[in-house]
Structure 1
Amino acid sequence: MLEHGGRLRRAAQQYGIPLAEWLDLSTGISPWPWNLPEIPANAWMRLPEDDDGLEAAARRYYGAEQLLPLSGSQAAIQLLPKLRPAGRVGVLSPCYAEHAEAWRSAGHDLREVGDHDVAHQLEHFDVLVVVNPNNPTGRRIEPGVLLEWHARLQARGGWLVVDEAFMDCTPEQSLVASCASRPGLVVLRSFGKFFGLAGARLGFAFAEPGLLARLAQLLGPWSVSGPTRWVAQAVLGNFHEHIERRRDLAEASRRLAGLLGEHGFAPQGGTSLFQWTVSMQSHALRDHLARQGILVRLFETPASLRFGLPPDEDGWQRLEQGLRTFNQMESLR
């Protein structure tokens, strides 16, 4: 299993701090709960049905006709490599590590490439995978650039796979509404990040109908639970609250960037849901914060930390104190 954020129970055991006393900033998931409807009993008692309204609500929210609900976008990440014969796959890195692992495990010849290498290496790939906005760097690639890459790949029967898990805060930059049904283009979206409902395990794939049908066949029936389908319909349809949530997340992210900068850890990138800072002190700071009951996400290459958003003023004060005491300790060395 690859390393991921959110493993709070393991941190609680490792540092001897009760689970309830932790401030979890490790996931890049919206820290605020959503107003959820009451789930009717039949959502629990009956098998899920495809015509219950979820697909219609998702079409309205994303502005796309062709889509497939999934048990989290992770399901598509693991299954897409099985829909192509073994080939040459490029993954724009660093990014969410499950992409490279899935294609490599399925027998594809995988190469991780940097931003500046894609343009002149694209002809060597049958598939290119891009996370946009990127996790953890926050890097964004303009839609026009992505569509140029897609055209070059599709001309040779290739695919461009774009993971837009963190795109809900900037929907105007998404490829879903205008381009997602083009042959050779696959776009993935996550429900858990923006809506703060990672436990629901819901995501969507957007692609041409034939590819979605093949993916659905691999998924099998009932891939999304009835309660999740019920809750998601209500949440996806609350457009007024979507606007307010985007505004609040953007403000909190700017505050987080400022706080990190004040303490010598100015971010090198980020989104409305997290900030990312590169530092040779990453390991030491992660450990120091963990001893204060604050969990952040450590990355090894490059040595860096991803900070999610505190949920309340107490969380902001705890993070500020943790950063300040770290610098005080470092100054005494």
Structure 2
Amino acid sequence: MLKDFFLALELEKGKPLSVPHGGNSREAVERFGAVLGRIIDFSSNVNPFPLPAAVQRALRSAFKRLNVYPDRESYGLKKILAERWGLPIHSIVVGNGSADLLYRAVYALRPKNGLIFQPSFGEYAKALSEVGVKIKVLRLDPVRGFSLPKGKGFERVGKGGVVFFCNPNNPTGCLTPKKVLEGVVRRLREKGAFLIMDEAFIDLAEEESLISQAAYEENLLVLRSLTKFYGLAGLRLGYAVGHPVLIRRIQEIGQPWPVNVLAQAAGEVLVGNETFRRKTCERWLREKEDLYRHLCQIPGIQPFPSSAPFFLVRLTEKGSVESLQRRLWKDRLLIRDLSGFPGLEEGHFRVAVRNRRENRLLVRSLKKALAEEES
């Protein structure tokens, strides 16, 4: 009976109940078999560099408070975020990762319709389908590098609707200029529609963020991840900035204690560490440029330019991504297979930018695997 109930849910919404994601080494072991040694995960777009020692000290201190309920609003972290961005503290809500806040925002807004772009993060469609929203889809053109020329396409959403937009986009890495998106916010306001801007990967291009005006716009919510840039995937942490009325509603929706004391402690240390942020940006950008240059030199693949710490790559010769993924797995490397990803043709995969040594291992393994595919 329960199985039939869940099957009915799938058929009713026309979407699967789960969305595939990177960072799943257990699933890779089940598909390709166990390998000896540590797996280098290029499927997950998380900061690969060491965290400051102060984080470990903060976590050890937080362990002493495991028998105490966490602050329901993560007030200490909100205060640090408000000071960093120069925003009213009541315009910020902290959650268990930006994906948590994505769903809570949809439940709070209860939109009449929705617009999403493809290819992009799969949870947007799932969140909208959870509240029974009819979704319009706009395909991004690979010939244009998956860019959105002059902000066109947003007008397809109806009154009372919500548009999800990821900047830079995942998995394409394409960045839409801030000036273009400011115009989009104005046009949607006139139409009575809302924009949820996902800036999970904007840390390397923060000058293009809309976060500074989000607190003062009634039709804009900006989602930010602390999981990716600050390497907290195992703890889960994110925040959103928007009009205080909406932020209060999002705070009230969902579980009463969304963020645990360990995540709060780590976040407070990291967000306030400007030196770590600056050095991480500088190093990640250097490694990104170096990896892109080497990927461009490999026959059989086409990497797309990216403003995020990852690259979308297309196979240009015969062979499948699954076969390539299997060959790389033998070298203990895991890439993100995007076969079947909505908005992408077959033959695409994504690789994260890691440190210099690991990036070079990826380049060598790709060359070897693609050469074997040709022979």
Correspondence list, 1:271-310, <5 A:
271-280=307-316, 281=319, 282-300=321-339, 301-303=344-346, 304-310=348-354
Does 1:6 find its partner at 2:23?
Answer: yes
Correspondence list, 1:1-333, <5 A:
1-18=18-35, 20-35=37-52, 36-38=55-57, 39=59, 40=61, 41-49=63-71, 50=73, 53-65=76-88, 66-113=91-138, 114=140, 115=148, 119=152, 122-125=155-158, 126-264=161-299, 265-280=301-316, 281=319, 282-300=321-339, 301-303=344-346, 304-311=348-355, 313=357, 315-332=358-375
What is the distance in 1 between the residues matched to 2:189 and 2:36? 49
Distance 1:220 1:15, change over 3 A: closer
Query: SS in structure 1 opposite 2:204?
Result: coil
- The Cα of 1:51 is off from its aligned counterpart by 6.7
The TM-score with structure 2 as length reference comes to 0.82
Question: CA contact under 8 A between 1:82 and 1:106: conserved in structure 2?
Answer: yes
Question: CA contact under 8 A between 2:46 and 2:233: conserved in structure 1?
Answer: yes
For 1:179-202, what per-residue CA distance to the aligned partner results, in whole angstroms no more than 9, with x for missing partners?
A: 443101010000011111111211
Tell me the matched-pair count.
331
What is the distance in 1 between the residues matched to 2:149 and 2:120? 15
Distance 1:318 1:149, change over 3 A: same
- The Cα of 1:312 is off from its aligned counterpart by 5.2
- The Cα of 1:318 is off from its aligned counterpart by 2.6
What is the distance in 1 between the residues matched to 2:103 and 2:121? 13
What is the distance in 2 between the residues matched to 1:55 and 1:208? 15
For residue 238 of structure 1, what is the amino acid of its counterpart?
A: N
For 1:6-26, what per-residue CA distance to the aligned partner results, in whole angstroms no more than 9, with x for missing partners?
A: 001121232223474311100
Distance 1:24 1:172, change over 3 A: same
Distance 1:267 1:51, change over 3 A: closer
RMSD (CA atoms): 2.1
Deviates more, 1:216-225 or 1:244-253: 216-225
Give the structure 1 partner of residue 13 of structure 2. none
The TM-score with structure 1 as length reference comes to 0.92
Distance 1:121 1:310, change over 3 A: closer
Distance 1:156 1:212, change over 3 A: same
Distance 1:193 1:120, change over 3 A: closer
What is the distance in 2 between the residues matched to 1:231 and 1:53? 11
What is the distance in 2 between the residues matched to 1:323 and 1:137? 20
Gaps (5+ residues) in structure 1?
none
Give the structure 1 partner of residue 10 of structure 2. none
Question: CA contact under 8 A between 1:37 and 1:234: conserved in structure 2?
Answer: no
What is the distance in 2 between the residues matched to 1:120 and 1:229? 38
Deviates more, 1:123-132 or 1:206-215: 123-132
- The Cα of 1:120 is off from its aligned counterpart by 5.1
Identity, % of aligned positions: 24
What is the distance in 2 between the residues matched to 1:197 and 1:167? 16
What is the distance in 2 between the residues matched to 1:82 and 1:34? 34
Deviates more, 1:18-27 or 1:255-264: 18-27
Question: CA contact under 8 A between 2:37 and 2:332: conserved in structure 1?
Answer: no
What is the distance in 2 between the residues matched to 1:34 and 1:244? 11
What is the distance in 2 between the residues matched to 1:228 and 1:69? 11
For residue 107 of structure 1, what is the amino acid of its counterpart?
A: G
Give the structure 1 partner of residue 12 of structure 2. none
What is the distance in 1 between the residues matched to 2:295 and 2:97? 31
What is the distance in 2 between the residues matched to 1:15 and 1:51? 41
Distance 1:117 1:236, change over 3 A: closer
